[in-house]
């Protein structure tokens, strides 16, 4: 267990307006700092109390004193807090001393928390990084938790819109032969995203937000040429992206946005000669600061218990196939 310390200090002069500016709407700025630096922040007026690892507590106190000074001169935004956190090298602090803080997501259906350490780690990573990858088998909550985080961010006003994206990979049928207009042709590929939204917000609210373009559900091809600012963007089924599509998607992310990429590398529907953009991203981006990777396993499956056994059975078969080599 890492050593923990307590620091108490007062920010002067005591001004209610400055305190509200520092804390942000619903204490959102303080929560952002807590999650990023792994320190518990409590305050009564302008008297603050910090609890956490010594180095992180010292860094947080220094940051809060600087923000208090800035709060008297300008209106602090989430973007400004993010820039300050980057400036204090929060990633370095996080890599050495921080215990991830539990993240609880509040949506219409109630409070959602991670089931097990991997889901808890995933939610913490999403809360503290701008680009996140969730990789693992079906039923581990990758998409569900990402949509829940996105809905909470929208409800709290931290983003202006949700953009949920899927590659439209044809599985046996050509899109051109399916009935209906383009929207009707691609809707079947996006149905799991609709289902998650309906559970979080209710059907009526989702329909209204879709009509107002606050929520956008689109095939990946629609992202080309766009810059997505103040948005929460989820790319689902990313194992079916090409290398070019993955690069295109990741370079759409603008300021004030969060991106979550989910996929299962055991269910790639691309032609056999084509490398998955998700697999390529793991190779290229694994050492890039500011990007998180969470890997789920069969034990993280939260569907019917048989699902975990099915995943294990297929993994065992694939391992034998790899070991024995190609058939002669």
H helix and E strand count, the chain: 12, 11
Q: What is the pLDDT of residue 183?
A: 55
Same domain (yes/no): 152, 301: yes
Query: Residue 172: what pLDDT?
Result: 39
Q: Quote the CA–CA distance of 231 and 80 in Å, as a whole number.
A: 17
The pTM of this model reads 0.66
DSSP 8-class letter at 172 = S
Instruction: Report in angstroms the alpha-carbon separations of 279 from 141, 158, 236.
Output: 20, 30, 14
Q: What percent of the chain has pLDDT over 70?
A: 82
Of the pLDDT bands very low, low, confident and very high (cuts 50, 70, 90), residue 36 is confident
Place 117 in a pLDDT band, splitting at 50, 70 and 90.
confident
pLDDT of residue 118: 85
One domain, residues 27 and 173: no
CA distances from 251 to 227, 254, 280 (A): 8, 8, 15
Q: Are residues 138 and 74 part of one domain?
A: no
Same domain? 182 vs 212: yes
Q: How confident is the model at residue 292 (pLDDT cuts 50, 70, 90)?
A: very high
**What's the domain count of the chain?**
2
Going by C-beta distance under 8 Å and a sequence separation of 6 or more, which residues neighbour residue 128? 35, 36, 94, 292
The better pLDDT of the pair 265, 86 is held by: 265
Confidence of residue 140 (pLDDT cuts 50, 70, 90): confident
C-alpha 26/C-alpha 23 separation (Å) is 8
pLDDT at 185 over 70: no
Shared-domain flag, residues 191 and 92: no
**pLDDT bracket for residue 50 (50, 70, 90):** very high
What mean pLDDT is predicted for residues 287-314? 79
Determine the average pLDDT of the residues in 147-176.
77
Structure confidence at residue 276 as a pLDDT band (50, 70, 90): very high
* Residue 285, pLDDT score: 94
pLDDT at 182 over 90: no
Helix or strand run (H / E) with residue 237? none
Q: Quick check: 281 and 261 in contact, CB under 8 A?
A: yes
Q: Are residues 227 and 134 in the same domain?
A: yes
Give the CATH number, domain containing residue 71: 3.30.1370.10
Q: Is there a single domain that holds both residue 33 and residue 177? A: no
Query: Quick one: 276 and 302 in the same domain?
Result: yes
The span from the first CA to the last CA of the chain, in angstroms, equals 54
**pLDDT score of 85:** 76
If pLDDT is split at 50, 70 and 90, which confidence band does 91 have? very low
Q: Among 96, 123, 147, where does a domain finish?
A: 96
Q: Under the phi-then-psi rule, with left for phi > 0, alpha for psi from -120 to 50, and beta for the rest, what region is 307? A: alpha
197: domain CATH number is: 3.40.50.300
Confidence of residue 174 (pLDDT cuts 50, 70, 90): very low
Separation of alpha carbons 153 and 257, rounded Å = 10
Same domain, yes or no, for 82 and 112?
Answer: no
pLDDT for 173 equals 40
Do residues 201 and 294 both lie within one domain? yes
User: Which of 39, 62, 96 corresponds to the end of one domain?
Assistant: 96
> What is the DSSP code (8-state) at residue 252?
T
22, 81: one domain:
yes
Last residue of a domain, one of 96, 118, 140: 96
183 shares a domain with 82: no
- 200-215 average pLDDT score: 91
DSSP assignment of 251-285: TTB-TT-EEEEEE-TT---S-TTSPPHHHHHHHHH
pLDDT band at 60 (very low <50, low <70, confident <90, very high): very high
Does 270 score more than 80 pLDDT? Answer: yes
User: What was the pLDDT predicted at 87?
Assistant: 64
Residue 34 has pLDDT above 90, yes or no: no
Give the range with max mean pLDDT: 1-5, 94-98, 236-240: 236-240
For 319, the domain range is: 105-324
């Amino acid at each position: 267990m890492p050593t923990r310390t307590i620091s108490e200090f007062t920010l002067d002069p005591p001004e209610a307006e400055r305190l509200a500016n520092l804390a942000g709407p619903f204490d959102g700025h303080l929560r952002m700092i807590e999650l990023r630096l792994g320190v518990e922040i409590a305050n009564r007026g302008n008297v603050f109390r910090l609890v956490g690892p010594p180095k992180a507590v010292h860094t947080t106190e220094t940051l809060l004193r600087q923000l208090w000074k800035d709060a008297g001169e300008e209106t602090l935004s989430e973007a400004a807090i993010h820039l300050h956190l980057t400036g204090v090298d929060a990633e370095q602090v996080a890599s050495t001393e921080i215990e991830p803080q539990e993240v609880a997501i509040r949506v219409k259906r109630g409070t959602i928390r991670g089931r097990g350490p991997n889901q808890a780690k995933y939610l913490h990573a999403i809360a503290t990084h701008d680009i996140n990858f969730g990789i693992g088998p079906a039923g581990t909550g990758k998409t569900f938790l990402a949509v829940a985080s996105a809905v909470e961010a929208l409800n709290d006003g931290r983003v202006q819109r949700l953009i949920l994206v899927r590659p439209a990979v044809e599985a046996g049928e050509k899109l051109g032969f399916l009935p209906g207009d383009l929207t009707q042709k691609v809707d079947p590929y996006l149905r799991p995203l609709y289902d998650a939204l309906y559970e979080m917000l209710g059907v009526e609210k989702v329909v209204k937000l879709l009509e107002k373009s606050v929520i956008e559900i689109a095939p990946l091809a629609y992202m080309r040429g766009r810059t997505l600012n103040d948005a929460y963007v989820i790319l689902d089924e990313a194992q079916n992206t090409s290398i070019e599509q993955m690069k295109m998607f990741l370079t759409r992310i603008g300021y004030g946005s969060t991106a979550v990429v989910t996929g299962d590398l055991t269910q790639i529907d691309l032609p056999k000669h084509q490398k998955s953009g998700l697999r390529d991203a793991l190779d290229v981006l694994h050492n890039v600061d500011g990007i998180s990777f969470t890997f789920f396993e069969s034990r993280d499956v939260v569907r019917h218990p048989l699902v975990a056994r099915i995943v294990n059975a297929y993994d065992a078969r694939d391992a034998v196939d790899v070991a024995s080599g190609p058939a002669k």
